[in-house]
Amino acid sequence: MKPATSLRLALLPLALAPLLAQETPEAGTTNVPPDPFGELRETEETPDFARKVDRNRGAFTLDAKDGTYVPGSHFANWSWTLKAERWGNFHAGLLYDSVRPKLGVQLKIGEEAVLKSYAPRTNPVGENEPLVLGPVYLPKTGEYPVTLLTGDQSNVPAFQVKGIHFRPAPESEPHGQSIDGTIELLAKSATTYAEALRYEPKPEKDCLGFWKHPEDWAEWVFDVSAPGKFEVVLHYGSGAGNNGSRAAVLLNEHTFEFAVEDTGGFQNWREVKLGTVELKTKGESKLAIVPLELKGAALMDVKKVVLNPVK
């Protein structure tokens, strides 16, 4: 028996050798499965403007302390009087702190605008951004009743309303890049960070107007699907007495300064070619118009900005 047992023990390593060869990784390799997220790359972002801009201009808040609160067993009601100094489109957002999973809210502005949503739990560390409930259009200046209905008490430690925040919003979304590569940025798709500057919807205007404050500025956020070189063309009009004003078009990190000239009237449009720029990144880009020097009653009216592909 001993010789047979010794033979089997001697042959055992030879039988296991192929299996061990399969399971043992070669030098420089690993048996750890590949990372399923290994092919993901950081999203490339376009650089910001070279000139500082104020994205808080034109925004305002109805503070909770200035409102009237009426608690209830199943709901609570807040009310304010909004005194609008500028008509136009705004994003309405709820400022609050909450430890609850979610709470139903309904915001009514004026007689028509009703916005509904659920307010989720907020981050207890740091300042929370407003919960954007939706857009609201104020057709004129003056007073508007504002009411906020919540699904439970909302002036208690578990859920505390801090106010209603309004910030400027565009009248419509910008068109995408056309099939021939052209990018057309219409006046109504601009966000006007302003106290007076706004989109004028009358058919004979259809432009950005009331540009009478040097701090007011406009911005377009648009998508580039086919990067390349583009010629920047501004369509604007200006009346007598406004010569000498200067402005700049900011396109991502690029800046184009120009002098505003009398075109024979604010709705007498002139095309001005400002220069050529290369947009290298797919996705979101930003373009802004900012005043540099304002002389006369108003800077100009802007019909649109067009980026024409350079072949």
* 239: region left, alpha or beta (phi > 0 left; psi from -120 to 50 alpha): beta
Got the DSSP string for 223-236? EESS-EEEEEEEEE
Calculate the average pLDDT of the chain.
Answer: 88
C-alpha 99/C-alpha 105 separation (Å) is 15
pLDDT over 80 (residue 17)? no
Domains and CATH numbers, the chain: 60-168 (2.60.120.260), 183-309 (2.60.120.260)
pTM of the entire structure? 0.82
* pLDDT score, position 45: 78
What would the mean pLDDT of 231-241 be, rounded to a whole number?
93
Nearest to 170, CA basis, from 309, 287, 37: 287
pLDDT digits (tens, 9 = 90+) for 243-277: 789 999 999 999 999 999 999 999 999 999 999 99
| Top-confidence residue, 151 or 17 | 151
C-alpha 258/C-alpha 246 separation (Å) is 6
pLDDT digits (tens, 9 = 90+) for 101-160: 999 999 999 987 899 999 999 998 878 899 999 999 999 999 999 999 999 899 999 999
Got the DSSP string for 111-141? TTEEEEEEEEPPPSSSPPPPEEEEEEEE-SS
